[in-house]
């Protein structure tokens, strides 16, 4: 661990005071909390302010002999920046690509330990809590650059008329404050909202599967997802137990799900496989707690309860099972009751059915989900989660690249989103959709990042919120942070195809092509029909693997069920003129379609050195608000050939609204 300074040293920067010897970070005399590693990283950077601190040095001093990846540093840097309100302008911490970090804000060193006691100190456990999203016509002061320190008075200390000597009363205040801070630190730790996403430090991980009916003729989806949701909610705040979120396990609602296979997919220590049976006004629950490594059932549960109201029954069963599991894992009190957002059981049923379909994606599933959600909000117009789900489903029809008209779907998404936020301004799901809409359709990176930070702050266990934030960071070229955020999302939902694809995209943006290749292949294995073949092709091409790139192109066209003559044309072109011939024929096949992908065409023309045609198609993609236009600076190998052209600079300027 670091040991660079004496305990009595205090550092001031902006409106912050850092007291390493007391493990304190104060903002305007109010304590803000960081996890121990993030606090240690901040301390090291501040101690070395103005100097580059190498990543290897951070690992050596903070993690000592432990084996960690660079992503651990990025994750800690992200935590620190979140608490400092440090934006992409890097006012406090500057990223030195591929090397390390430098603390760039002015720092004043105080040597009197009584200084920080001259003002009352209020303990606030902030964790990931960030300011509310500002209105479009307002500037949120919490996201403004932090003020510089006041001018020094010649004594090496910042002028502060309230500073005095400690004295006898000061000693009493110090003793009382130490006790207060100690108690507060314990409280902050106990209620800190973030938990690691995979088993570390003695924690055990578990995936709670949806409840499955013993008799499929007498099933009720409201119990299957609803009880699982309630149980996950109670277990998620259990100390020492890491629980996969509902979004990660909804896909296992099918009766024939292999429980152990699901556990392996979710990379957990245990899988909880429950079943239910309804008869004579009672529900009988049987469940198995399975050790995924051994495949053996370690405990079984069997009990029955009277069927009363659906929500009351869900809570009663969840409480019963949570208490039984607590005995097994030696856990403390569970989480609060589930916040469903509605008292209408049928609206809740329709919402759960819809979100299960949204998780499966695809145009048919998404359309059915929208119909369910429209019925849900008709039953309960104040159901904010259903409105947010509807906003997400409409946006997904465009995000999924299924050809849904953007001018029809996005206004519907925006309308539903406004209704959701007007009902519940603290709904994480709504801010996640807002983040995506602002990034992809408004080309508003700042607004998208603010919305995503809000979504993650409201629900740190939402893999969808972390995914959205990863996309924003990726689009801005902040790859270290994007890598850490993408890992957070993947840890929360290891079997998600879209999360895996985005994780690979970050590696692609980092130009770590061999690693990106492996991750794209893993994404394809998760969803062969929707796999990122085009990006894998480009990744192989960037490594000089042109024959493999061509094989991948043919495989992709075969999966898409392209016409045999189209595939034969590609093969003939490759045989005659190699990879460049295949590129030219690939362009012809795209241009022959009713709705060409202008973004793809731009990349292919750039690869052939035809800049004029590349920019012609980029302009068309821009006019159509193509989803990937926000990524042209970072995530297309072919566009590296265009970056020195003034037309590229002009296009970037227009996208950024400058």
Render pLDDT for 442-473 as a digit per residue (tens, 0 to 9).
888 899 999 999 999 998 888 999 999 999 99
Q: What is the DSSP letter of 101?
A: E
Q: How far are the Cα atoms of 289, 564, 576, 629 from residue 581, in angstroms, in the given order?
A: 57, 18, 7, 27
Q: Is the dihedral of CA 425, 426, 428, 434 positive or negative?
A: positive
What distance in Å separates the CA atoms of residue 181 and residue 179, rounded to the nearest whole number? Answer: 5
- Percent of the chain as helix, strand, coil, to the nearest 5: 55, 10, 35
Q: DSSP class of residue 361?
A: -
Instruction: Please give the Cα distance from 650 to 627 (Å, whole number).
Output: 19
pLDDT greater than 50 at residue 654? yes
Write down the mean pLDDT value for the chain.
Answer: 78
Report the run of H or E that residue 276 belongs to, with start and end.
strand 270-279
Contact 452, 440 (CB under 8 A): no
d(CA 462, CA 456): 7
Mean pLDDT of 227-243: 82
User: Whole-angstrom Cα distance, residue 82 to residue 469?
Assistant: 13
CB half-sphere exposure, 7, CA atoms < 13 A = 4
CA distances from 284 to 234, 304, 321, 447 (A): 20, 4, 12, 49
Residue 255 clears pLDDT 80, i.e. is over it: no
What angle (nearest 5°) sits at the alpha carbon of residue 19, between those of residues 14 and 23?
Answer: 125
**Tokens encoding 345:** 């059981």
Give residue 111's pLDDT band: very low, low, confident or very high (50, 70, 90). Answer: low
Question: Residue 385: which residues within 8 A CB-CB, separation 6 or more?
Answer: 340, 341, 342, 351, 420, 424, 427, 429
Q: Does the pLDDT value for residue 655 go beyond 70?
A: yes
Packed helices 497-509 and 479-492: angle between N→C axes, nearest 10 degrees: 160
Decide if pLDDT at 380 tops 50: yes
Predicted TM-score (pTM) of this structure: 0.64
pLDDT given at position 538:
93
The DSSP call for residue 158 is B
With 90 as the cut, is the pLDDT of residue 595 above it? no
Q: With pLDDT > 70 as the criterion, what percentage of the chain qualifies?
A: 79
Quick one: angle between helices 513-526 and 533-542, nearest 10? Answer: 160
- Please report the domains of the chain, with CATH numbers, ordered by start residue: 10-191 (1.10.10.10), 204-338 (3.40.50.10070)
Segment (H or E) for 297: strand 297-306
Q: Which residue has the higher pLDDT, 231 or 401?
A: 231
Residues 6+ apart with CB under 8 A from 34: 25, 42, 79, 80, 83
Q: What is the mean pLDDT of residues 534-558?
A: 94
Among residues 2, 85, 322, 37, which one has the least CA distance to residue 196? 37
The lowest-confidence range among 175-184, 425-434, 499-508 is 175-184
What average pLDDT does the segment 224-236 reach? 84
Q: Which residues contact 373 (CB under 8 A, 6 or more apart)?
A: 350, 351, 354, 386, 389, 390, 393
């Amino acid at each position: 661990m670091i040991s660079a300074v004496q305990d009595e040293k205090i550092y001031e920067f902006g409106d912050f005071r850092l007291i390493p010897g007391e493990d304190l970070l104060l903002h305007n005399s109010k304590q803000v909390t960081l996890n121990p590693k993030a606090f240690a990283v901040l301390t090291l950077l501040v101690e070395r302010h103005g100097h580059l601190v190498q990543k290897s040095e951070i690992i050596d001093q903070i993690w000592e002999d432990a084996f960690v990846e660079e992503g651990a540093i990025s994750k800690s840097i992200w935590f620190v920046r979140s608490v400092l309100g440090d934006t992409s302008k890097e006012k406090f911490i500057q990223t030195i690509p591929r090397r390390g970090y430098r603390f760039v804000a002015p720092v004043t060193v105080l040597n009197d330990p009584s200084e920080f006691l001259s003002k009352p100190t209020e303990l606030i456990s902030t964790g990931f809590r960030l300011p509310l999203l500002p209105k479009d016509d307002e500037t949120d002061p919490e996201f403004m650059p932090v003020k510089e320190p006041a001018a020094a008075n010649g004594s090496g200390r910042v002028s502060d008329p309230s500073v005095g000597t400690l004295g006898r009363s000061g000693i009493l205040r110090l003793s009382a404050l130490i006790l207060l801070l100690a108690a507060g630190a314990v409280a902050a730790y106990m209620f800190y909202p973030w938990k690691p996403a995979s088993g570390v430090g003695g924690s055990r991980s578990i995936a709670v599967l949806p409840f499955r009916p013993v008799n499929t003729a007498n099933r009720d989806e409201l119990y299957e997802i609803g009880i699982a949701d309630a149980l996950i909610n109670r277990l998620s705040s259990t100390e020492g137990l890491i629980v996969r979120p509902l979004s990660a396990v909804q896909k296992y609602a099918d009766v024939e799900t292999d429980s152990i296979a699901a556990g392996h997919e979710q990379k957990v220590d245990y899988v909880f496989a429950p079943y239910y049976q309804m008869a004579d006004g009672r529900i009988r629950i049987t469940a198995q707690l399975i050790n995924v490594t051994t495949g053996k059932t370690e405990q079984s549960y069997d009990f029955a309860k009277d069927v009363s109201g659906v929500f009351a029954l869900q809570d009663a069963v969840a409480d019963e099972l949570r208490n039984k599991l607590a005995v097994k894992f030696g856990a403390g009190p569970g989480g609060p009751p589930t916040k469903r957002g509605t008292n209408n059981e049928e609206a809740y049923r329709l919402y759960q059915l819809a979100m299960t379909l949204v998780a499966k994606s695809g145009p048919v599933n998404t359309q059915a989900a929208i119909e369910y959600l429209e019925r849900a909000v008709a039953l309960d117009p104040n159901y904010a989660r259903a409105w947010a789900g509807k906003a997400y489903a409409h946006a997904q029809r465009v995000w999924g690249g299924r050809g849904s008209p953007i001018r029809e779907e996005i206004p519907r998404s925006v309308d539903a989103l406004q209704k959701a936020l007007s009902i519940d301004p603290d709904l994480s799901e709504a801010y996640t959709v807002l983040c995506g809409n602002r990034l992809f359709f408004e080309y508003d990176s700042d607004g998208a990042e603010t919305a995503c930070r809000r979504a993650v702050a409201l629900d740190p266990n939402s893999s969808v919120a972390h995914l959205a934030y990863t996309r924003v960071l990726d689009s801005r070229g902040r790859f270290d942070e994007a890598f850490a955020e993408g890992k957070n999302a993947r840890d929360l939902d290891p079997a998600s195809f879209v999360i895996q694809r985005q994780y690979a995209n970050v590696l692609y943006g980092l130009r770590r092509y061999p690693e990106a290749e492996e991750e794209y292949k893993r994404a394809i294995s998760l969803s062969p029909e929707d796999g990122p073949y085009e990006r894998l092709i480009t990744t192989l091409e960037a490594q000089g693997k042109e024959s493999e790139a061509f094989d991948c192109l043919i495989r992709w066209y075969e999966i898409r069920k392209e016409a045999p003559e189209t595939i034969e044309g590609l093969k003939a072109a490759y045989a005659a003129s190699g990879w460049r011939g295949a590129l030219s024929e690939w362009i012809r096949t795209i241009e022959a379609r009713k709705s060409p992908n202008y973004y793809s065409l731009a990349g292919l023309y750039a690869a052939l050195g035809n800049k004029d045609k590349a920019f012609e198609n980029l302009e068309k993609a821009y006019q159509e608000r193509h989803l990937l236009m926000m990524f042209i600076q970072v995530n297309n190998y072919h566009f590296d050939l265009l970056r020195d052209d003034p037309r590229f600079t002009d296009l970037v300027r227009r996208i950024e609204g400058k």
